[in-house]
Structure 1
Amino acid sequence: MHGRWTRVVRTPLGLTATVLVVAVLALACFGPLLWGDGADAVNTDGILAQPSADHWAGTDNLGRDILLRVLVASRLSIALALLAIVISVAAGLVLGSAPFVLGRRSGRLMSAAVNIAVAFPGLLLALFFAVVFGAGATGAVLAIGLAGAPAFARLTQTLVAGVAARDYVAAARTLGIGRFRVLLRHVLPNVAEPLVVNATIGAGNALLAFAGLSFIGLGVQAPAYDWGRLLNEGTGALYVNAAAALVPGAAVLLAGLAFNLFGESVAKGLGVSVGAGVRALPRLRAGVPRETEPAGDEPRMNSYQAVLEVRDLEVAFPGPSGPVRPVRGVSFQVGRGEAVGIVGESGSGKSLTALAITRLLGDHARVDASRLELLGDDLLAPDTAVQRRMLGTSLAMVFQDPMTAFNPTRRIGGQLAEVATHHQGLNRRAAIARAVDRLTAVRIPDADSRVRQYPHEFSGGMRQRAMIGMGLMGTPALIVADEPTTALDVTVQQQVLDLLAAIRAADDVALLLISHDVTVVGEVCDRVLVMYAGRIVEDLPAAGLTTAARHPYTRALVAAVPDMTTDPAEPLATIPGRPVAPADVPAGCAYAGRCPLADARCRAEDPPLTGDAATPSHHRVACWHAGEPLPADRRPDELVESP
């Protein structure tokens, strides 16, 4: 952090701006002490004197030295401007953070109020508040402070919304930490730098605005004086002594320029930029069957004891023409010690299914299911401390990007220890010791010193292992890993997968692995769920993924992965067309537009997910032409998406 701020003064502009700001602040601190007596000295023999060696900027109508008065007025001018910007930032933080703290409905009202206020020009608001609070320094400070608040509120809303979408904020909410505490500990520390930068620039603007109010008589009143008041007095004698107006005007200009240039330099040095709900979730429409299980609609777990049971899971988001369902009637189970993989193209609903299970979807999402249980506990039940403790200790989530899952402003050890202190009642020392032990368990070397480091000091693979270690702070029965090897090189990918396999084998932990990589899922998992357009279209043993797949989509996914037998002279296999958009799912089978076996029935009726006499009881497929050979006379590049 120190190095980043050092970069600000390494450029010519940054160094110049820093020197100017330091000089202005020093003048404000020491100006009245050095020249206060001289500035107030009345000399009736030298009234309205021209600039001379004794009085560089001349004198006013009482014979007082104008330059000394400008130097002394720096304290009041800058102090009041800084006080106004503090009010702007404080009010902006309150208004901008309100939607996060208050929740969706109240937050919308607050956002609407901020949007209306931002639509008014800042000068108009300042004049309005100045009239409301009355003329004087206090009224002017409040007027400028409140007039600048909407801009900071809009900035805070944008920054808070960006951080609130991070995984570590969702995890903190799941732990049961209150919104206000999450705001203070996880959100505001991560938006501090942009606010500081914009506040620095805003100080220059507040200085100009305050001088303007004093100039028109709404600011500082006699006998006190600031630069704006001196400028007003100087304009009365502009044709007699131009320096009387130019000197205070130059002071306002230089001080405002110093703050603005310093803010811009800080922004460049730090790399900082300046400047709908679902009321009800209707059931699936007619013609879209729910997934059914064999053997009397009861899922078969073979030798596995059920850890997670999902039945008829639906996820909906608000849309312009009604709820959009990216997950539609998903049903499956995961047993103790079992590894289940979920594969499919982007947008198939894999990650949303995992987030719904882990209760990490935001308030704008609606989750519904006839059964959603972890270790027999209903995950759709009202939020309680017992349920939060169960989620925090029995369920571990490994996110796709650990850099967004960890809070960048807090040390790794403190973030891991929070789980133990919050759910297991350990004190700080014991929780840190537990964190060291868990980091050692996930094969992070020198864990004693690593716990004191920040996430950016870890490599990508180490951050992912630390994320797994956070999940192991409790005693998880289920690990949900959402694309845990994304953006890692193949060696580190294998290390992460080996670590998950070792944890699973050592503690009989169930694993739900989400991935685009069919090969990885086939090697790591016992069973594979293939998703398309929010539904499971095939559920089959991983050992039969390349040989026993019966759905055309599953076979196309497997064929699209090259292997050692792939002819390099031939073009790679692809799946024609594009995935179906969740907001525009067609009638019938969603894959029909890309399927070479599709017929009229496929486009009219959506097949249920069932087993039949030709397949084992644990192999289910949703297709009217399951297992039929693909037509040999049609190449993949000849298949086009149906209108």
Structure 2
Amino acid sequence: MTARRRGSVWVAAVRTPVGACSAVLLAVVVVLAVVAPLVWGDGAAAIDTDAIGQGPSGAHPFGTDSLGRDLLLRTLVATRLSIGLAVLATAIGVGTGVVLGTLPSVLPRWAGRLLIAAVDIAVAFPGLLLALFFAVIFGVGTQGAVLAIAFAMAPAFARLVQTLSASVSGRDYIAAARIAGVGRLRLLARHVLPNIGEPLVVNATIGAGSSLLAFAGLSFLGIGVQAPDYDWGRLLREGLDGIYVSPVAALAPAAAVVLAGLAFNLVGETVAAVVGVRTRATRRAAGPLPAPRPAPGGEPAADAVLAVENLQVAFPGPGGWTVPVRGVSFTVRAGEAIGVVGESGSGKSLTALAVSRLIEAPGVVTADRLEFAGKPLASATDRELGTALAMVFQDPMTSFNPARRVGGQLAEVSERHHGLSRRQAFARAVEKLTAVRVPAAARRARQYPHEFSGGMRQRAMIGMGLMGEPKLVIADEPTTALDVTVQRQVLRLLARTRETEGAAILLISHDIAVVSQTCDRMLVMYAGRVVEDLPTGGEARHPYTRALLATTVDLGTDRDEPLEVIPGRPPAPDQVPPGCAFADRCPLASERCRTEDPVLEPAGAGHRVACWHPPAGVLSGQSHEEGAA
């Protein structure tokens, strides 16, 4: 299956215009390199004293050289040596670059720094200048030219390897391998190099074209291939001697260099594009979208800001469509605060992204109703929606542009959507930063995101959402990775935004205690569905909600008792069982729960629950012990 899928990826890449051209050119170059010396080798070496220095003719399309030898045949035969030497130089250069790039990780720190400094100095010089320098050192001839070009391109590959290795070294699996006692050499061979191999291959393929051009240049200057051997560069030099008499004599080798270099570069572009083709090929193989399950209809409330009915988010996979959000329905009224809770992977963030129209291809969003402020989100334009919908992301450091000042990024909202001048928009940005309690807002607005603390960046992100006077603020885990004090400040800021701006809040969190303290209603999600919709402080009826409440720790929790846990783990989005997804972890599950999937049913005023055996509830705003009491 994997080999077949990889084959289809390459077939799809070759079908593109760039891929088709690269395949044809590369095939021609390879065939000529193999066949030309065998078929035309004797003809290219044949001396004809009666045809010395002739121009193009029927017998010699590109004319002859100073010994009467056919220039077209010599150009074709020179393909093997020209391509072979370029590939050999590239292989040596890439190998040397990989060694130089990985040595700093193995050598002592002082030696590694010295090597990195030497590589940095070498990269600062043009490649051809380095090649000429090394050619003088290694001597005139084919061997010297190969080594000169290889060592000239090695510093660039060493820098690339260093950069790629640094990007991989911070990953968790590298840290785990170090902790496990994996040696440096094994760490490089098994964990680092395999994960940076793809960009190295792409750059090596493109680098072969540069090597070919550099080799032709050295031979043209007379310090590359020497007689009686000849490559395209040497033929070009010989053709230039009589260019004023027969200009076409230099045309054949020049065209060969250009076409072969173009072939290598296009192959590199095709290899680089294969990663993007994989996604499209997988999407075509996914088949039709799964049909959403029927959901009870109903008109949303008259003051509804957001109406969601039977929302479904699907992504194509090798075995078909994966549906991590499966039929979510809820309504957010004006000025209302709703919390969405659940374990990681329950579909909370995907639901928020779908509502915000931020699901990118190949993901597909469908819904029976998806309306914001009375407008269908699927067909509404950005101008129609305006800035009434604001999104506060989980990690503001990755949401802000690190190369732009914070105030300028906030001001951009008003410049683009409200038509304010740059000065007016910046003044409004300072005003909003002041509103979200950023101290010295005028000075802070001129700083970069990295100069803000985590809590300050989160406040600035909320301030950016307020630049457009939103009707709904979607906050996706806004207190993650913040300390308790800053968490409380951010939650107070959201509550204050709701009071002063009249905006509705959709707060997504894995912490049910945070939602209980902030929101009016709570949506409990599990395996891509809402399993309970209840007022904060109401009686939890679903076993999963009760289990979440039981795991909540507060100051009254008995430290001598073991912490409550929910046994098992949620199912993967592509492995959801046919019945209730929580059945395998539920102590009340019956055979019906394993075969029939419950739907949300009314369980009181403003309360819905999807459970075949809902137990007597505990208050959702209290800890487990308080509810039991």
**Smaller-chain TM-score bracket:** 0.5 to 0.7
2:558 partner amino acid = D
Matches within 5 A, 1:234-633: 276-277=282-283, 280-284=288-292, 288-290=293-295, 292=296, 297-299=298-300, 301=301, 305-381=303-379, 384-387=381-384, 390-391=385-386, 393-544=387-538, 548-612=539-603, 615-616=604-605, 618-628=606-616
Residue 496 (structure 1) shift: 0.3
C-alpha distance after superposition, 1:459-486 (max 9, x if no partner): 0000000110111111100000000000
Residue 283 (structure 1) shift: 1.5
C-alpha distance after superposition, 1:87-145 (max 9, x if no partner): xx9xxxxxxxxxxxxxxxxxxxxxxxx999849966866688889x9535988699668
Taking the aligned partners of 1:603 and 1:24, their CA distance within structure 2 comes to 64
Residue 396 (structure 1) shift: 0.7
When residues 411 and 330 of structure 1 are mapped into structure 2, their CA distance, relative to the original with a 3 A threshold, is same
1:591 partner amino acid = F
Residue 100 (structure 1) aligns with? none
Taking the aligned partners of 2:211 and 2:469, their CA distance within structure 1 comes to 61
On the 8 A contact 2:307/2:371 being kept in 1, the answer is: yes
When residues 516 and 417 of structure 1 are mapped into structure 2, their CA distance, relative to the original with a 3 A threshold, is same
C-alpha distance after superposition, 1:299-321 (max 9, x if no partner): 5x5xx821001011000000222
When residues 141 and 24 of structure 1 are mapped into structure 2, their CA distance, relative to the original with a 3 A threshold, is farther
C-alpha distance after superposition, 1:178-212 (max 9, x if no partner): xxxxxxxxxxxxxxxxxxxxxxxxxxxxxxxxxxx
Taking the aligned partners of 2:585 and 2:574, their CA distance within structure 1 comes to 18
On the 8 A contact 1:307/1:334 being kept in 2, the answer is: yes
Residue 603 (structure 1) shift: 1.1
On the 8 A contact 1:420/1:474 being kept in 2, the answer is: yes
1:597 partner amino acid = L
When residues 17 and 525 of structure 1 are mapped into structure 2, their CA distance, relative to the original with a 3 A threshold, is closer
Residue 565 (structure 1) shift: 3.5
**SS of 1:569 mapped into structure 2:** coil
Residue 536 (structure 1) shift: 0.5
C-alpha distance after superposition, 1:60-94 (max 9, x if no partner): xxxxx999999xxx9xx99xx79x989xx9xxxxx
Taking the aligned partners of 2:436 and 2:612, their CA distance within structure 1 comes to 46
Taking the aligned partners of 1:156 and 1:432, their CA distance within structure 2 comes to 41
On the 8 A contact 2:388/2:471 being kept in 1, the answer is: yes
When residues 16 and 620 of structure 1 are mapped into structure 2, their CA distance, relative to the original with a 3 A threshold, is closer
Taking the aligned partners of 1:124 and 1:21, their CA distance within structure 2 comes to 22
When residues 608 and 115 of structure 1 are mapped into structure 2, their CA distance, relative to the original with a 3 A threshold, is same
**SS of 2:601 mapped into structure 1:** coil
On the 8 A contact 2:328/2:530 being kept in 1, the answer is: yes
Taking the aligned partners of 1:351 and 1:325, their CA distance within structure 2 comes to 14
Residue 451 (structure 1) shift: 1.8
Taking the aligned partners of 1:68 and 1:594, their CA distance within structure 2 comes to 75
When residues 418 and 143 of structure 1 are mapped into structure 2, their CA distance, relative to the original with a 3 A threshold, is farther
**SS of 1:567 mapped into structure 2:** coil
**SS of 2:370 mapped into structure 1:** strand
Structure 2 unmatched ranges of 5 or more: 1-108, 131-135, 161-197, 217-230, 238-253, 619-623, 625-629
1:330 partner amino acid = V
C-alpha distance after superposition, 1:160-180 (max 9, x if no partner): 99xxxxxxxxxxxxxxxxxxx
Residue 361 (structure 1) shift: 1.1
When residues 18 and 537 of structure 1 are mapped into structure 2, their CA distance, relative to the original with a 3 A threshold, is closer
- What is the TM-score with the length of structure 1 in the denominator? 0.58
2:290 partner amino acid = P
C-alpha distance after superposition, 1:257-292 (max 9, x if no partner): xxxxxxxxxxxxxxxxxxx336643323xxx553x3
Taking the aligned partners of 1:28 and 1:629, their CA distance within structure 2 comes to 74
Taking the aligned partners of 2:526 and 2:549, their CA distance within structure 1 comes to 14
C-alpha distance after superposition, 1:575-628 (max 9, x if no partner): 11110111011111111111111111111111110105xx22x10011111135
When residues 23 and 530 of structure 1 are mapped into structure 2, their CA distance, relative to the original with a 3 A threshold, is closer
Question: Percent of counterpart pairs with the same letter?
Answer: 53
Structure 1 unmatched ranges of 5 or more: 1-9, 32-64, 90-113, 162-275, 631-635, 637-643
Taking the aligned partners of 1:578 and 1:409, their CA distance within structure 2 comes to 41
**SS of 1:580 mapped into structure 2:** coil
Q: Alignment length, in residue pairs?
A: 425
Residue 211 (structure 1) aligns with? none
Residue 257 (structure 1) aligns with? none
When residues 140 and 556 of structure 1 are mapped into structure 2, their CA distance, relative to the original with a 3 A threshold, is same
On the 8 A contact 2:203/2:268 being kept in 1, the answer is: no
On the 8 A contact 2:336/2:504 being kept in 1, the answer is: yes
1:621 partner amino acid = V
Q: Tell me which moved more, 340-349 or 560-569.
A: 560-569
Taking the aligned partners of 2:562 and 2:126, their CA distance within structure 1 comes to 73
Residue 506 (structure 1) shift: 0.7
**SS of 2:568 mapped into structure 1:** coil
Taking the aligned partners of 1:28 and 1:571, their CA distance within structure 2 comes to 66
**SS of 1:575 mapped into structure 2:** coil
**SS of 1:474 mapped into structure 2:** coil
**SS of 2:540 mapped into structure 1:** coil
When residues 398 and 150 of structure 1 are mapped into structure 2, their CA distance, relative to the original with a 3 A threshold, is farther
Taking the aligned partners of 2:537 and 2:128, their CA distance within structure 1 comes to 77
Taking the aligned partners of 2:598 and 2:125, their CA distance within structure 1 comes to 77
On the 8 A contact 2:394/2:480 being kept in 1, the answer is: yes
On the 8 A contact 1:281/1:368 being kept in 2, the answer is: no
2:493 partner amino acid = L
**SS of 1:342 mapped into structure 2:** strand
Taking the aligned partners of 1:24 and 1:623, their CA distance within structure 2 comes to 66
On the 8 A contact 2:568/2:585 being kept in 1, the answer is: yes
Residue 629 (structure 1) shift: 8.0
Taking the aligned partners of 1:584 and 1:24, their CA distance within structure 2 comes to 51
When residues 346 and 467 of structure 1 are mapped into structure 2, their CA distance, relative to the original with a 3 A threshold, is same
Taking the aligned partners of 2:496 and 2:524, their CA distance within structure 1 comes to 25
When residues 145 and 454 of structure 1 are mapped into structure 2, their CA distance, relative to the original with a 3 A threshold, is farther
On the 8 A contact 1:309/1:332 being kept in 2, the answer is: yes
1:488 partner amino acid = L
When residues 598 and 422 of structure 1 are mapped into structure 2, their CA distance, relative to the original with a 3 A threshold, is same
On the 8 A contact 2:541/2:617 being kept in 1, the answer is: no
Residue 640 (structure 1) aligns with? none
